[in-house]
Amino acid sequence: MMTFPRVWELIGNFKDECQSRGWKTSQNEDWIKVNNEFHNFLWARDIHPSTFKKIATACRCAIKQGSSYQVVNVAYTAWLFPEAPPDTLVHSVARDPKLAKRIAIYDLSNVYAGGPVCFKLNETNSKVFQEFEKFLGKKWGVEYKPAFSLLTKEI
């Protein structure tokens, strides 16, 4: 059995797949551009809910262009958590339909503990995130439990 990769390696491997589809990616940043929309991946071991809310509602990220940066609008953001995110964070996204359409949360704590289940909250229309889920399933055997399972942590 292969060891599940670190988050940054996981995103890097996925970005390689995205490039093979003709999607634009960054070597140093974790975004994918498809049809003029940016799909951003953020990962955190732990984050305070108020900090999460500020980042989630900002809808922007910095893109390096040469020696400077350009701030762009982000259509979708996926948050990857190698440890279980705070319940308050998950509830804040689940209860806000506007946020839930732009923000996906992947709780990978069970996968990193050796289990097959990734708890997810993904109500976005992001085809990048749909492909990310397929990638995790095909390459690593990850199974998904929907939002209600994420909120109750039932495997």
The model's pLDDT over 91-150, given as tens digits with 9 standing for 90+, comes to 888 889 999 999 999 999 999 999 999 999 999 999 999 999 999 999 999 999 875 555
List all residues 6 or more positions away from 150 whose beta carbon is below 8 Å from its beta carbon.
90, 105, 107, 119, 120, 121
Question: What is the total residue count of the chain?
Answer: 155
Tokens of 147: 């939002």
pTM over 0.85: yes
Query: Average pLDDT over the chain, rounded to whole?
Result: 88
Which amino acid is residue 94, in one-letter code? A
Mean pLDDT of 85-95: 87
Spatial neighbors of 116 by CB under 8 A, at least 6 apart, are 110, 141, 142, 143
